[in-house]
Amino acid sequence: RAKKANLHNRKLRDCRVHLNTKDKKAEYSSIFIVEGDSAAGSLTACRDVATQAVFALKGKPLNTYGLSKRVCYENEEFNLLQAALNIENGLDDLRYNKVIIATDADVDGMHIRLLLISFFVQFFPDLIRNGHLSILQTPLFRVRNKKKTLYCYSEIEKNRAMDDLGKSHEVTRFKGLGEISAGEFKDFIGKAIRLDPVTLAQVHDTDKLLGFYMGKNTAQRQEFIIENLMVEKDLVNA
């Protein structure tokens, strides 16, 4: 059985209110799955301790494609994660309304997202079908001058911010969540939080879906990526 989600779950910085209670704030309960102690530290320092929990991964999780559900118990991180969510026997006692994957916006971060989504698709698809799984959007840039600071989630937003602030501005490119201070992070996980929901239609054949994206068909996947690749131009140089 999965280890119980309590103070002994060293990966979990828990909150006080959970979905499987009658608390009036239960629907606001959420858990952020982050990569590494640095990002976990920033989030933990600025979160709402009543409704926001943090679960820290250590490096990249295991690729579970083709494995049996035994991995949920034999792999320590997945064992502790399913225990934190309390989904071993289904969603009836799910502890958080929103399960939020919060990784860096780089290649490694995207890979971790994919591995986590694959884990949930394979073993807990109803978590996705019931709208509980999301991706946290985090700013890529900070544009500021002496009077104003703007956070930007894309090149387009960055260029607009640069125009708005005029010539006397500086631009910072965030390389990872660990570079964002707790004071700044508070704005990104509060009322202005941006979430991309992960969806899974009932008609999707999950085995076929996972086989294509996580299997050993590297050449076929590479061809698909090349054919569907979209390049966002930097409008400054356009």
The pLDDT tens digits for 106-155 are 888 888 998 999 899 889 999 999 999 999 998 889 999 999 989 898 89
Q: Is 18's pLDDT higher than 90?
A: yes
Residue 100: helix, strand or coil by DSSP? strand
Provide the annotated active-site residues: 35, 104, 106, 108
Q: Which two tokens stand for residue 133?
A: 């799984």
Q: How many CB atoms lie within 10 A of CB 39?
A: 25
Q: Which two tokens stand for residue 76?
A: 């320590």
Ramachandran quadrant class, 233 (left: phi over 0; alpha: psi -120 to 50; beta: rest): beta
Mean pLDDT (the chain, rounded): 85
Q: What is the mean pLDDT of residues 36-47?
A: 86
Q: Is 40's pLDDT higher than 70?
A: yes
Tokens 């708005």, residue located: 164
Give CATH 3.40.50.670 domain extents, the chain. 12-138+178-205
In order, the DSSP letters of 67-107 are: --TTHHHHSHHHHHHHHHHT-TT-STT-S-SEEEEE--SSH
Please state whether the predicted TM-score (pTM) of the whole model is above 0.95. no
Q: How far apart are CA 154 and CA 205, in angstroms?
A: 33
Tokens 């997945």, residue located: 78
Residue 35: helix, strand or coil by DSSP? strand
* Assigned CATH for 12-138+178-205: 3.40.50.670
On whether the CB atoms of residues 180 and 189 are closer than 8 A, the answer is no
* Alpha carbon of residue 102 to chain centroid: 3
Note the pLDDT tens digit of each residue in 55-94.
999 888 988 888 888 988 889 899 999 999 999 989 999 9
pLDDT of residue 236: 42
Q: Which two tokens stand for residue 71?
A: 């991995």
